[in-house]
Amino acid sequence: MLDKNSKIYVAGHHGLVGSAIWNNLVQRGYTNLVGRSHQELDLTDQSAVRRFFDEERPDAVVLAAAFVGGIMANSLYRADFIMMNMKIQCNVISEAYAHGVKKLLFLGSTCIYPKNAPQPMKEDCLLTSPLEYTNEEYAIAKIAGLKMCESYNLQYGTNYIAVMPTNLYGPNDNFHLENSHVMPAMMRKVYLAKLIHDGKWDKIAVDLNKRPVEGVTGIDSHEEILTVLGKYGIYDNKVVLWGTGTPLREFLWSEDMADASVHILLNVNFSDIIGIEKYSSVHYGASTDGAVDRNHSAGRGGAIPKLGEIRNCHINVGTGKELTIRELSELVVKAVGFEGTVEFDATKPDGTMRKLIDVTKLHSLGWTHKVEIEDGVQKLFEWYRQSL
């Protein structure tokens, strides 16, 4: 297992979850951490990733880096979503194996589950029916990632764990309107609509200078600003959101997700997930000097009939609780102090109507969430205002 001196590489350590995982590890006394920004290391570049692993030789890897976005971004950049995520995963996981990494944690998404999966969604419903079309490419990439972890474990006896978080929100969230997720996008829209109504153009300028919208910043004219914001449903004291407001969503505070991730990284092995008795004939395929034995065959559990079919070894991470998008908008309105109107444009897509996950496996492994959605929305808005 990992000790306090173990070198842990957190890929995506500036992101929503990666930064929270980094902070959680530090708080637990794990300070031998390695991180690289996208500018310092392009994870889609196989040669660059190999050089990084050659130089750093981490003991463990947290793969929290991904190319992400909401419904609009998933619809516009379909090729990017599948290609970039597949490249990142293939490069990091293959080099982790080649360099004898002891433990790897792969972060996916609950969009891996079928559009009409039985609710709440258990891990075993993976690949049982078609995916939601609007995020199919991202989902397929994440399914491939969890299958890579599972397959390496079965073929080589590695200890790679895949976790599938529900919708996340929290500090360092992405508030850029073109490619943000539902909650931060909604929160920023409501906040800007309030500022327009209040005539707080100085604060609007600060917001747009921090996060420009289609190249428009605080130095542009009021007319230009209002025009571009209107494209995103932001008006004077009015916000228009996509869809009907009826889809149900589950949300998990990012620092809770980080705590769950670190708990699993430090305390849960592949053998714990599939059952020690079923995996007893398999031992981890690393020699005593830390180098991986590529000819190791004891880990080929998938090829041994008596073990049965081993699949769906990933772990759902969430709260097991849900609310409608309309109810979420009401919490955001309350947090922002918005007194205007929120409308829903039913001509725009809703996405999946319900996405609640079953967290029985997670609870059995000793972890439960702490932050409830009502408190989390208020905490997120406070973080957003302080970030400007």
Catalytic residues: 138
The count of other CB atoms within 10 Å of the CB of residue 125 is 19
The angle at the Cα of 258, spanning 252 to 263, to the nearest 5 degrees, equals 115
CB 311 within 8 A of CB 150: yes
Residue 22: left if φ>0, alpha if ψ -120 to 50, beta else—which one? alpha
Alpha helix locations (H) across 171-299?
A: 182-198, 201-210, 222-230, 254-267, 270-274
Pairing mode, if any, of strands 234-235 and 238-242?
Answer: antiparallel
Q: Which residues pair with 216 in a beta bridge?
A: 213
Nearest to 332 by CA among 376, 379, 377: 377
Amino acid at 100: G
Nearest to 93 by CA among 137, 47, 145, 44: 145
Sequence-separated (6 or more) residues with CB below 8 Å from residue 301: 153, 154, 278, 279, 281, 282, 307, 310
Amino acid at 358: D
Sequence-separated (6 or more) residues with CB below 8 Å from residue 248: 322, 323, 324, 353, 354, 355, 356
Nearest to 260 by CA among 182, 319, 181: 319
Rg (CA), the chain: 22
Which strands sit side by side in the sheet containing 341-345, from one edge to the other?
234-235, 238-242, 341-345
Give the dihedral sign, CA 244/174/135/360.
negative
